[in-house]
Amino acid sequence: MSNPVFFTPAGSLSHVAPGTDFVLEGPEARHAVTVKRLAVGESVDIADGAGARLTGVVAEATPGALTVTATDIIFEAQPDVRLVLVQALAKGDRDELAIETATELGIDAVIPWQSERSIVRWKAERAAKAHAKWESVVTAAAKQARRAWVPPVRPIVDSSGLVKAVAEADLAVILHEDAKNPLREVLERLDVNGASPSEVLLIVGPEGGISPREVTRLSDAGAVTALLGHHVLRSSTAGPAAVVLASDVLGRW
């Protein structure tokens, strides 16, 4: 069984070497000691959310601190092809379910999208709190999956902002039920032509779907449409399904 993972700020493991002690403090230490009840002698991983992972043994556990003796320090590189989920805001916390599952499956970044048909709205006074909630969801999912990387939640974009992001992207794929080409074929064709991008945007609409006007604008900016399967998936399901398929086709798994 893999070791439980607890997070420390990015860069804080840079000066740790095997044989030395690292002290984890704050909420993560309290969770490790009071909730997970880690005891002296148990194995644990400490990750900085930016690829560095300390594997070690608990040397001391107090309510406010967990001291771990490092046995190994590794850095996990990011995949050659990074996957970014552009998730439209959706009602009923379906958007949060989407980013949670996608994080467990290996997504590398998340972009909240205020689409034309999104019922949920991140108003000015609510935007910061909602963004922080998404970050919390992603962090918890990364912890559950024992990841060394915590996918960043990028700033929210409206449809105009997404058009700009698509124009600047290596590849942007609109997951759409009316698409003609399966997602697998779209990605395999790029790989065969030796044009595999370094970052792929996977664009998922809200429960009401992406509007025709948005599809046109995004396509004009360079996005391609792709079909996931014969059935219409929920907004909470499409992104994770695309992550699984893309990870396989692109050799991430």
Angle formed by the axes of helices 235-249 and 94-105, nearest 10°: 20
Phi, psi of 209 (to 5 degrees): 85, 165
Cα separation, 114 vs 101, in Å, equals: 20
Torsion, CA 100, CA 105, CA 109, CA 113, rounded to 10 = -50
pLDDT band at 229 (very low <50, low <70, confident <90, very high): confident
Question: Which residues are paired to 52 by β-bridges?
Answer: 75
pTM (2 decimals)?
0.91
Cα separation, 159 vs 90, in Å, equals: 15
- CA proximity to 179, closest of 204, 207, 196: 204
pLDDT band at 126 (very low <50, low <70, confident <90, very high): confident
Angle of CA points 219, 221, 225, to nearest 5°: 25
Local structure of 201: helix, strand or coil: strand
pLDDT at position 63 is: 85
Question: CA dist 16 to 36, 57, 59, 137, 221, Å?
Answer: 24, 14, 15, 28, 46
pLDDT at position 194 is: 54
Mean pLDDT of the chain, nearest integer: 92
Angle of CA points 155, 246, 171, to nearest 5°: 55
> Residues 152-167: what's their mean pLDDT?
96
The tokens 């030796």 sit on which residue? 194
Q: What is the CA radius of gyration of the chain?
A: 20
Lowest mean pLDDT of 13-17, 64-68, 132-136, 233-237, name the range: 233-237
